[in-house]
């Protein structure tokens, strides 16, 4: 995430930088959403091909390609959620900045008097700390997710072997293909019957 100001230098925050950061994050989030939609279109197209394909090798190829695209889509979804979380945090910071500016310009209470409220200040600082911890937890969970996916990879598995997901898709393709074959045969038999009936007439 691009951070427009130095760590713990809140007094130097510029609202324009916050807005620019939010706009950039939202642009990246829209890009991620478009990529997710594109991956899903590719998956749907390959599912249709797999259902009509007669060659077993090609059906297996489609199944593997579909599962690969699903993994890529899941990765983009995670990135999109991370971006959304960051957008939320940046908007909170912008709201806090706006509130701070408002109270500085509108209130007649001096800053020294506001800071004199130690209980209120403690609550504010605790909320800020909780927000920071929550944002760091997102980074940690993303790192854990990456490690989990990497750890799930079986280096000894044959590249051309069947996985559970491949078998499920192949089975789906075969069922769809069988149903279409039955439909074609049924239509053919119906046409034959009609021809015979006409000839008998």
Output DSSP code: residue 82: H
Give residue-wise pLDDT tens across range 15-35: 888 888 889 999 999 999 999
**Per-residue pLDDT at 154:** 54
Class of domain 14-107+163-201: mainly alpha
What mean pLDDT is reported for the chain? 76
In this structure, are residues 161 and 67 in contact, taking their beta carbons and an 8 Å threshold? no
d(CA 102, CA 117): 19
Among residues 43, 46, 50, 45, the alpha carbon closest in space to that of 173 is found at 50
- Sketch the domain layout of the chain as residue ranges: 14-107+163-201, 109-151
Q: What is the pLDDT of residue 113?
A: 64
The whole-number pLDDT of residue 185 equals 62
- Kindly report whether the global pTM for this prediction surpasses the value 0.75: no
How many whole angstroms separate alpha carbon 97 and alpha carbon 43?
Answer: 44
Structure confidence by residue, pLDDT tens digits, 126-180 = 877 787 677 667 767 866 776 776 676 555 455 556 678 778 888 887 777 667 6
pLDDT of residue 8: 47
- CB half-sphere exposure, 121, CA atoms < 13 A: 8
Structure tokens at 187: 């239509």
């Amino acid at each position: 995430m691009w951070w427009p100001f130095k760590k713990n230098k809140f007094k130097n925050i510029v609202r324009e930088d916050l807005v620019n950061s939010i706009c950039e994050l939202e642009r990246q989030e829209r890009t991620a959403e478009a990529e997710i939609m594109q991956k899903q279109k590719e998956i749907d197209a390959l599912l249709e091909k797999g259902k009509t394909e007669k060659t077993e090798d090609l059906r297996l190829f489609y199944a593997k390609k579909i599962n690969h695209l699903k993994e890529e889509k899941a990765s983009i979804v995670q990135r999109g959620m991370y971006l959304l979380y960051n957008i939320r945090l940046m908007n909170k910071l912008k709201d806090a900045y706006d509130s701070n500016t408002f109270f500085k310009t509108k209130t007649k209470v001096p800053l020294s008097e506001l800071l004199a409220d130690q209980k209120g200040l403690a609550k504010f600082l605790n909320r800020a700390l909780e927000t920071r911890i929550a944002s760091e937890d997102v980074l940690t969970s993303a790192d854990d997710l990456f490690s989990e996916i990497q750890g799930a990879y079986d280096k000894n598995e044959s590249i051309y072997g069947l996985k559970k997901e491949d078998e499920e898709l192949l089975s789906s393709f075969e069922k769809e293909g069988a149903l279409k074959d039955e439909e074609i045969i049924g239509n053919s038999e119906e046409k034959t019957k009609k021809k015979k009936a006409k000839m008998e007439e």
